[in-house]
Amino acid sequence: MKKLILLVLISNVIFAQNTFEFLRLDTSPRAAALAGSFVSNNDDPNVIFYNPAGIAQLEKKPASFSFLKHLLDINSVSLAYSQLFEGIGRFGAGIQYINYGSFTEANEFGEKTGKFGAGEFALTIGYSNELGNNFYYGVNTKFIYSSIADRYSTGIGFDLGLQYTIPGSKWNFGLSILNAGTQIKYFYSTREELPLDIRIGVSKTLEHLPFTFYVSLNKLNEEKDRFKQFTVGGEFRLSKVLRLRFGYDNEKRRELKIGTTAGIAGFSIGVGFVVKEYHIDYAYSSMGFIGALHRIGVTTSF
């Protein structure tokens, strides 16, 4: 299996149309439990990774740490923070890091010559403010770094976002353009595209039930299967301290199908606990017969 992961990494660098694909990865357990349907969220600092306009309505100085246990020994962490500057607007910062583990290096004759590693990193700085009554905008700038053995690549990316809220009926609407930008230093001699992603999403908190549903249309910039790459999620507030979440990713379910069955690929569940000022979240995301991803995170405000 590890050889397969290595082949995927190398083929992604050499042959893929896009680079820095790790930017698509859900790191926050709350967002992952909702299958990434987070473009219309406005109460979680991790929204900076989905729509920079979403940080405008955050309160105090929220901070979040998330850990992702991927397949094999692949691990990822993320940090998110936001702060309001009076008279200027709200700023946010985010860090995404993934380590693919250690691999055996060999020459063309199959002789082992040592070990090498692979990892990727992105630093995001965001800004958001009010554009009009209940209408918000946001922009991110991100520096991206990726390395495999002695090869590395860097890039600069930008996110743009809009959100509109209807407080009375608790509707939220979001639009984001993620990962626009360019590769600065190439792995080899060919420039690769960043994983551009245009998303439109909506969320609604029900009036007579402690439930919020989320819907997101993703990759609207891609002509193939446009409007078929969608995610949905739901969050129940069972009490002041307990949250239950679920999600469904149509694209993952389609891509992870083996033969005529996909198991529970594309489905995710999660739970959240509120302990004093701390929100502790866990998410389980199925990849079908391949395995599953586990995420845990803590969010608080200062």
pLDDT tens for each residue of 272-292: 999 999 999 999 999 988 889
d(CA 67, CA 97): 10
Q: Which domains does the chain have, with CATH numbers?
A: 2-103+113-234 (2.40.160.60)
Q: What is the pLDDT of residue 86?
A: 94
Residue 211 Cα distances to 30, 125, 237, angstroms:
15, 32, 6
Q: How confident is the model at residue 9 (pLDDT cuts 50, 70, 90)?
A: very low
Please check the confidence at residue 7 and state whether its pLDDT lies above 90.
no
| Residue range 96-104: mean pLDDT, rounded | 92
The string of pLDDT tens digits covering residues 41-74 is 999 999 999 999 999 999 999 999 999 998 888 9
Residue 285 Cα distances to 19, 167, 223, 266, angstroms:
23, 31, 27, 7
User: Which of 92, 34, 35 lies closest to 58, judged by CA?
Assistant: 92
Contacts of 74 (CB under 8 A, 6+ apart): 5, 98, 99, 100, 101
